[in-house]
A and B are shown apart, each in its own frame.
Chain A
């Protein structure tokens, strides 16, 4: 079955810097890759997703890139702000299968 590994597990950046979180997946047939943000004590919320027919997607300060050959996808956050501090989860899904989540990255943005 699918396996998703996420790195790093913790990431600390200065406000204004960029942050990059990377996930690798094992099933080459996976075709949907969402990213969720979870603030302390809150529910995971979708922030961006990408399907396998595109290589990159942007939404303001957030972007996701997908490398199908290498089977990895990454979340890029530019101009980080303190409110970006949260735990971020990647996930992968094949066809009609269920989402398989990475174990999360705790991002801390220092003012």
Chain B
């Protein structure tokens, strides 16, 4: 597995509380991504980053924000968690070759339950 870790791996929280998930990589890859995985929906992109302090929205970004202050870390924040954000969250990384994103490798995932 590529050098990707996620923390925490499991979290239970209450509606309305802020939550931050962390993705850490040791591969020095340029691109980092946050996905959520829900039954019947596959993997959906929340936000991604193409460099330090360079981020953009994915297809399901409402209610989420991200930050990337260092190459190795990409944080996903739920400002005020809702039950609809109960999901499994995966971080992914990919490198850049000749201006193109290369293969994506996934982290181990974080299971989030919002009560």
Contacts and interface: CB of A to CB of B under 8 A. Distances in A.
Contact of B101 (A36, A44, A96, A101): A96
Contacts, number: 42
B106 interface: yes
Interface size bracket, A side: 10 to 19
Contacts of A101: 42-44
A111 B109 CA distance: 30
A34 B90 CA distance: 17
A20 interface: no
A103 B42 contact: yes
A5 to B, nearest CB: 11
B33 interface: yes
B72 to A, nearest CB: 18
Interface size bracket, B side: 20 to 34
A23 to B, nearest CB: 11
Contacts of A36: 106
A29 interface: no
Given A98-B33, A98-B45, A104-B42, A43 B107 contact: yes
Most B Cβ at <10 Å: residue of A36, A89, A93, A99: A99
Given A89-B43, A103-B40, A49 B33 contact: no
18 contacts: A6-B42, A34-B103, A36-B106, A43-B1, A43-B90, A43-B106, A44-B106, A45-B1, A46-B104, A89-B43, A95-B100, A96-B99, A98-B45, A98-B58, A99-B45, A99-B104, A102-B42, A103-B42
Interface of A: 6, 34, 36, 42-46, 49, 89, 93, 95-96, 98-99, 101-104
Given A34-B104, A103-B40, 20 more contacts: A42-B108, A43-B1, A43-B90, A44-B43, A44-B90, A45-B106, A46-B104, A49-B103, A89-B43, A93-B101, A95-B100, A96-B99, A96-B101, A98-B33, A98-B101, A99-B104, A101-B42, A101-B44, A102-B42, A104-B42
Q: Which 10 A-B pairs have the closest CB atoms?
A: A103-B42, A43-B106, A101-B43, A101-B42, A44-B106, A104-B42, A43-B108, A98-B45, A96-B100, A46-B103
